[in-house]
Structure 1
Amino acid sequence: MWVKSNELSPGCVLLRDVKGKSQRPLIPKNTVITEEHITVLHKFLIETVDVSPKKASGEAWRNDNKKTEQSAQSAQPATSFERHYHYIVHQYKKMFVKWQNGAGVDITEVRALFLPILEKMEEVNKFVFKLHQYAKKEDYLYHHHIAMAILAAYVAYKSGYPKGEWLQIGLGALLSDCGMARISPEIIHNKSTLSEAEMEEIKKHPTYSYRLTKNLPILKLEIKQAIIQHHERLDGSGYPLGLTEGKINRYARIIAVCDTYHAMTSERWYQQKQSPFQVIEVLQKEQFSKLDPETIQSFIQIMTHFSIGTRVRLSNQKLAEIVFTDHHKPTRPMVRLDENKQIIALDNHPQLFIEELL
């Protein structure tokens, strides 16, 4: 009988091979399912499997997870993308701890965990402006690595890069911060502003990331270069090499913008989160000194492609809908207020901005 993978429990017996997208068997038939097998099925997004009506113990199979699942869904409704995203963050945290304990980067494990969500690019399109909302300051580090990587792949995808390239860019962005695992936990989980000495330690993480990934054959050389370059800036003020404009590769420039954007829009112990629209305006100002102008322009166009009628919450907490957008000032559209139907141009109200999309 066919059963959803999230309804499985240890002791179920497979009647058929479970195959991945490559058609290679992931789990052979006659396997007695364990918790580890269930985790593998979730990682590879296997929705249903064929199991025996009886468990290995002889007892009849029943869906023990149904009530728990229904309870969880009623308590906190979430989309499939949101569930998948939080699952990845949870598993990535475990992976990161292994790196902290001295393990190397298992690129097969990283790909198996991360690439499936990148295959949902059209679904990502609906949630890309909400990624910063998922991050909590307690687990910011892990959310940041995953969200930044999704953003980088998404920007490359919308910019017309071939699939093989935007997948690599996503992987590169994710692994660009894996070197944080080589920094003292007391520093990376510091709840206050970093000291100068602590900041110098943090600045070593691109080098550590490069060392952890330089021998991975799956990653292109240009991606490995982007890993060590993603904190370089056009004016030479970045780290760890102090490179200037002509020496920073195109992938690093994409990762740098996505890294900066997500960091500024997320809640951290020592920094309040900012509205994505405010951050985009900051990026516009930085495009001629530190970050790549072409990449920023692409990022802004991609992130502010709103349709007329999009619902928003303003910084004064009033609700409105977008009625007109000037492509020269995409963060400052004209909106119609819900309360009195008044139309206002945000460009004429510099202290007022869009807090979030609804």
Structure 2
Amino acid sequence: MKVHPSQVVAGCMIIQDVMGKTNRPIIPKNTVVHPIHMRVLNQFKVGVVEVANRLSDGSPFIPEESIEYNEVEEHKKQESQESLSTLSFQEQYLEAVQAYKKWFEDWRGGTPVDISAVRKVMVPLLERAAQSNRDVFLLHHFSSKDDYYYHHSVAVGLLSGYIASKMNYSYGDWIQIGLAGVLSDSGMAKVEARIINKTGALREEEFNQIRKHPTYSYRYVEKTPLLTQNAKLAILQHHERLDGSGYPLGLQQGKIHSYSQIIAVSDMYHAMTSERAYRKKHSPFRVLEEIQKEQFGRFDHTVVQAFIKEMTNYSQGTKVKLSNNQKAAIVFVESSHPTRPMVQLEDQSIYALRDHHDLYIEEVLD
């Protein structure tokens, strides 16, 4: 366990080298603490010491509360929050994408998933995204086809956490759902790079590799105490479909966890609205219509309706570009046709898009 030096007592077992400013250990690991070591820790102003949970005599080590430690941790937390507050949402998002890219390369090399590191980057971003549907709706703009998988994982986590928060899940639950979304494709690190980067159609044996990635993702996280069992199931099941057509287990309705359905819808939405190496991106509103069609038999109706409601939650006057390149403003959104609102063109004419199936919103402009 990690403790402040003021919490260390004689008999503690140091289990990690205590490093000095010269990057050399001032107290080596496996040292039994004596009063002299406690003085050294104080004189060298060491911030944190990692010790065993039992003393050298075998009795449990239960550290007393440390005011100094709390102050140090609070100061670090405040500094981190102040640093993040100076970044725009896009900048913070792009930093998270770069962090994920580094994690992904580490996983490829055999490094285990560090949930604490993922939480440190993603929890503040999830909290920020939950406060602004506008930022969440624009995530596909930030994606690039070269770094698609890194963008996709971060975006799916943010979309999943956002939708779960709007479905009235508790804070702890929607944070877990968001983290599960981020890590749902971590198992792609075990899939051959040539398959991930292939621009043409996959052969059957190549797609079979892709089908294994939810299982690989689950194996990465199955033993961590920092994710709930529900979140772990969501990672394993995020490609399952209610009609049994999904993978890796072909589960059907009744055996698929609700968390996984939130990630599944978020995954499909971001994948189809982003530019990929093998195809161009689609209009968000057309994708939402496709998801509406897919909900019957494949996706949970409650999740789909919540997703569409939040992603089409635009105020009157919102500027949009239509599929014929004309600009318009949203006048009214009907709850029965949320992806096809009534719009006013620049010439002041009004169109009810539900009556013009060849015309749709290509992009939101503001």
Cα pair distance change 1:347/1:138, threshold 3 Å: same
1:353 and 2:363 equivalent?
no
2:236 aligned to 228, 237, 256, which one? 228
Q: Please show how residues 50-199 of structure 1 align to structure 2 within 5 Å.
A: 80-199=88-207
Q: 2: distance between equivalents of 1:45 and 1:318? A: 42
1:332 and 2:327 equivalent?
no
Q: 2: distance between equivalents of 1:219 and 1:303? A: 27
SS state of the match for residue 249, structure 2? coil
Q: Please show how residues 190-339 of structure 1 align to structure 2 within 5 Å.
A: 190-338=198-346
What amino acid sits opposite 1:238 in the alignment? G
Q: 2: distance between equivalents of 1:260 and 1:229? A: 14
Q: What residue is the counterpart of 2:351 in the other structure?
A: 344
SS state of the match for residue 246, structure 1? coil
Q: 2: distance between equivalents of 1:108 and 1:79? A: 22
Shift of the alpha carbon at 1:121?
A: 3.5
Q: CA RMSD in A?
A: 2.3
Q: 1: distance between equivalents of 2:205 and 2:277? A: 19
1:47 and 2:70 equivalent?
no
Cα pair distance change 1:41/1:113, threshold 3 Å: farther
Report Cα offsets for 1:86-143 as digits up to 9, x if no partner: 1110111011100000000011111111111112145432211111111111110000
Q: 2: distance between equivalents of 1:219 and 1:185? A: 28
Report Cα offsets for 1:57-104 as digits up to 9, x if no partner: xxxxxxxxxxxxxxxxxxxxx970001001110111011100000000
Q: How many residues in Structure 1 have an aligned counterpart in Structure 2?
A: 298
Q: Specify the structure having the higher radius of gyration (Cα).
A: 2
Q: 2: distance between equivalents of 1:299 and 1:222? A: 20
Runs of 4+ deviating beyond 6 Å:
none
Shift of the alpha carbon at 1:295?
A: 0.8
Q: What residue is the counterpart of 2:23 in the other structure?
A: none
Report Cα offsets for 1:279-305 as digits up to 9, x if no partner: 111111111121111110111111111
Is residue 81–residue 124 contact of structure 1 (8 Å, CA) maintained in 2?
no
Shift of the alpha carbon at 1:185?
A: 1.0
Is residue 332–residue 347 contact of structure 1 (8 Å, CA) maintained in 2?
yes
Q: 2: distance between equivalents of 1:344 and 1:116? A: 41
Shift of the alpha carbon at 1:240?
A: 0.3
What amino acid sits opposite 2:352 in the alignment? A
Shift of the alpha carbon at 1:41?
A: 9.6
Shift of the alpha carbon at 1:194?
A: 1.8
Gaps of 5+ in 1: 1-16, 30-39, 49-77
Q: 2: distance between equivalents of 1:342 and 1:247? A: 50
Cα pair distance change 1:184/1:24, threshold 3 Å: farther
Q: Judge which range, 228-237 or 182-191, deviates more.
A: 182-191
Report Cα offsets for 1:238-290 as digits up to 9, x if no partner: 00000001100110111111011111111101121100100111111111121
SS state of the match for residue 147, structure 2? helix
Q: Judge which range, 184-193 or 107-116, deviates more.
A: 184-193
Is residue 199–residue 277 contact of structure 2 (8 Å, CA) maintained in 1?
yes
What amino acid sits opposite 1:254 in the alignment? I
Shift of the alpha carbon at 1:45?
A: 3.6
Q: What percentage of aligned pairs have identical amino acids?
A: 48
Cα pair distance change 1:23/1:335, threshold 3 Å: farther
SS state of the match for residue 119, structure 1? helix
